[in-house]
Structure 1
Amino acid sequence: MGLQSKTKNLGLAELIAIALGGMVGGGIFTILGVSVSIIGNVTPVAIIIGGIIASLAAYSYVKLGLYYKDEGATYAFYKKTYPHKPFLASVIGWFVIFGYISTLALYAYTFSSYAISSTDFSGDIWIRKGIAIGIIGVFTAINLWSVNGMGKIEDIMVYTKLVLLSIISFVLMKHGETSFSNFIDTMAVDAEKSSVLNILIVASVTFVAFEGFQLVINAVNEMKNPDKNIPRAIYSAIVLAILIYVVIALGALFAIPAEKIIQNKEYALAAGAGEALGKLGSTLVIAGALLATSSAISGTVFGASRQLAAIADDGYFPEIVTKRKNKIPRNATLFMAVFASVLILIGGLELILEFGSVTFLLVSLLMAIANYKIKDKTQSSSVLTLLAIGGLTLGGLLILYYELKNQWQQMAAIVVLYILLAAGARFYSRRHKKKLS
C-alpha cells in the first residue's frame, strides 16, 4: 500500500491540466482565422457545437477507459474489443502515435514562432527550428525526470495560461471598437449569410482543437482513484476548453477587424492586443501562447509515450521502445521527441497537422463503434453512443468535403502518409505473428 501511494502521483488537478495542456495548444488561434473567413461572428456558436461533438466522442473514451483501465488507451481498447483483428489494432496504434508526433512538432514550431516573433530573428527559419527542437528537449527531460514533477509543472503552466488568455480576451472585448450591440447585430447578419452546412463545417474543423482529452487515460497507472477522476478530468477539461475558446474568439472579434483575423491567423490576437493595449498587450498574448504550447508539448509527450510503450509491449513497434525506468517509458518518450524533431527539420508541418486532425476524428469514430459493440459491458447509453457515431461520421465527411474542395493536394498527401504507416504496421504485425507461432 505504501508503494502504491508513492506511485499514484496524479490527482484530479494534474489530470485536468494534462487534458487541457493537450487541447489548448495554439490550434485555436489558427482555427480562428479559418472560422471567421467562413462564418464571421457566428464562430463562437460553431466552437460550442464542436465542443458538444467532442463531448460525445469523450463519452466512449470514458466508458472504455473505465472498463479496460489500460494506458494503451485507443489502441488497447480496439485490440481488446476486437481480439481477432491484430493488424487493424496495429494500424490504429501507428496512426494514433504519428498523429501525436505531428501535433507535438506543430506545438513546438508554434512555440518557437511566438518566442522570436518580436525579435530580429523572426524571419530566420533555422533559428525557429532550433528553438522548436530545444523546447521539445526541455519537456522530454522533465517527463523523464519525474511524473510528479511533470504534473506540478503542467498545473502551473495550464492554469496560468487559462487565466492570462481569459484576462487578455476580456480586456480586448472592453477596449475593442465593436460594442456588444454591434457584435450581436453583425452575428445576426452573418448567421443569415451562413448556411447550416458552413456552420457545421466550421464546427467539425473546430473539433480538432479538442484533441488531447484522451491523454488522461494514458496516465491510468499513475493516477489516484481512476473510477472517479477519469470522467471528472475529461469532462471538466472539455468544458473549460469550450469556455476559453469562446472567450478567445469573442476577444478577437470585438477588438480586431475580421480581415486581419483571417490574414494573420494565429498572430491575430497578438496583433489586436498590441493595437488595443500597446506593447504590454502583445507581450501578454505572446506569453499566453508560449504557456499554451509549452503545456501542450508536455501533456502530449507524457500521454503519447505511455501509449507508444503499450503498443510496443505487444510487438507492434521496435522492442527497444518498451524499456522503462521507475515506470517511466524512457525510450518511448525519446522516440516521440526524436521523430517530432525530424518532422520539424524536414518541414511541411501544416500537412502533418491536417494528418493528425483527420486521424483524431477517424479514431474517435472507431472508439464510439467499439463502445457500442460492448455497450452492455461498459454500461453505456445506446442513445448517446449512437449520437456520437452519427456526429463523428458527419464531422468526418464535412472535413473531407472541406479539404477536397479547398486543398485536395493536401488530402492526397495524407492518403500517402496513411499508406506508408499502414505498411509499417503490417510489417510489425506479421513479425509479431511469426513470433507467436
Structure 2
Amino acid sequence: MRSAVLLTLGIALACSTSDGRASDTLVFDYTTIVRAGQLLDVESGEVRRNQCVYIFQQLITEVSPCSASEFRTRGKASKHHIDWSAYTVLPGLMDLHTHLADAGQSADLALPLKTSPAATALIGAKNARDTLMAGFTTVRDVGTYRGLTDIALKDAINAGRVPGPRMFVAGGYITKPGGGGELNGVVDNEKLPEDMRYGVTVGPEQAAINAEYFIEEGADFLKLIATGAVLAIGTEPGEPELSIEEMKAVVDTAAKRGVYVTAHAHGAQGIKNAIAAGVRSIEHASLIDDEALKLAKAKGIWLVMDIYNGDYIDDIGTKEGWPEEYLRKNRETTDVQRVGFTKAVKMGVKIAYGTDSGVYPHGANGRQFAYMVRYGMTPMQAIQSATIRAAELLGKEHELGSITTGRFADLVAVKADPLADIAALEAIDHVMKGGEIVR
C-alpha cells in the first residue's frame, strides 16, 4: 500500500494550527517515476521485481511494486517517467578511495610538480565526469599532492559548474617529512611548492595544527600516512611513519570538529598504531596480520582494501617503465593483501569499497567487484560494500547508499544481472544522480 511522504527537509512539511494541533498536511508526491524490472534492496540483501521508485526533486519519496499499466498511468502525473523494466536497478555506486584531483600515475615522478594547481583541477574535472559516467555517484577522495585542489573540485561539482560524483575530501596528506605522502625523488622536498607540503608534520603539536588547517579549508575528513607507501620513492609499506601520539593529536582535533580520520597503512604495526590512535578506517591494509584483523573486528574499524590495482601496476607499470622500486613493492604486497582480504571477509570485519583510482584510469572503478567476489565475497556483499556499507563508513547511511524513502535519488541500471555476473558493473548502462539522468 502506497504511503505518502510528508514534505520534511525538502520532502514534506506538517503545518500546525496556533494551538499546536496538526492542520491539513501539504503533500508533495513525485515529479519523476522510475520503473525497475529488478531492484536490489541492499539493506535487506533481497531482490525485488517490478518496482517503481518515486522521486520528488532530488529525493526518493516512495518505493513500491507496480505493474506496467500502473507505471503508464502514474507516469502521466510525473514530469519524467523512466522505464528501466529491462534492467537491474541498484543504488548509485560509491568508491571510498579515489584521487580525482591529481595528475595520475605514470613513469614520470615529476608529473605532479609539472602540473600546476589550475591544470590539476581541470584534470580533476575530467576525472570526475569519467567516474560519474561509470556509475559512481559518490566518492571519498583521499588526498592529492596539490593540496586543496580536491576541495575546489568538490565545490565546483556542488555548484553545478562541472559534472561529477558527490565528493567527500581530505584536502591533502598528513605525513612525516619524506614520508609516504610526500613527492619524493624529484627535488629536495624543502624546495617543493607550499601547496605540496601543507600536511607535513613533525610532532603532535604540528599534527594538530595541520589537522585544523585542512578542516578550516573545507576537508570532510582527514587522511594520515601511518606507514610507507608502494608508490612513493624511499618509503617502505611495512614501516610505521607517523607516531601514535602524532596520529592521536589529529584524531582528537578532528573529533572536536565532528570530523573522522582515516589512515593509509600497509604494514601490520602501522595498522595497529593507527587503530590505537582512534582512526575510523584503514586504507590498503596490505600486510595486515591476524592480530590486526582481530583488533579491527573488535573495535569496528573499517578496511578499505584496493585489491584490484596490484595487477594494473604490475602490467602497465612494467610496460611503461615505472620505477623498479614501485614494481618491487607492488609485487611484495599484492598477493598478501588479497589473503588478508579473504580473512577479513571470513571474520566479518567491516569492509567498504575503495579502489585507489588514479593509479589506474578513472572510470574503470567497477573492475574491483570481480576481485572482491574472487577473494571471498558474495556478489551481494560486494555490491553492499559499494553502497550501504560505504554510506555507513561515511556516516551518511540515512542519505545515501540505498534505494529507500528519504535517500538521495542516486540510481544506476545495468542490462545484465550483477548477482549472476558481477562483471556487469564494469559497464553501467544508465546513471541517475540526485534525480537527474546523467547517462
Computing the radius of gyration over CA atoms, which structure comes out larger, 1 or 2? Answer: 2
TM-score range, shorter chain: under 0.3
Q: Which has the higher strand share?
A: 2
TM-score (norm 2): 0.25
TM-score (norm 1): 0.25
Task: Using CA pairs under 8 Å that are at least 6 residues apart, name the structure with larger relative contact order, 1 or 2.
Answer: 1
Q: Which has the higher helix share?
A: 1
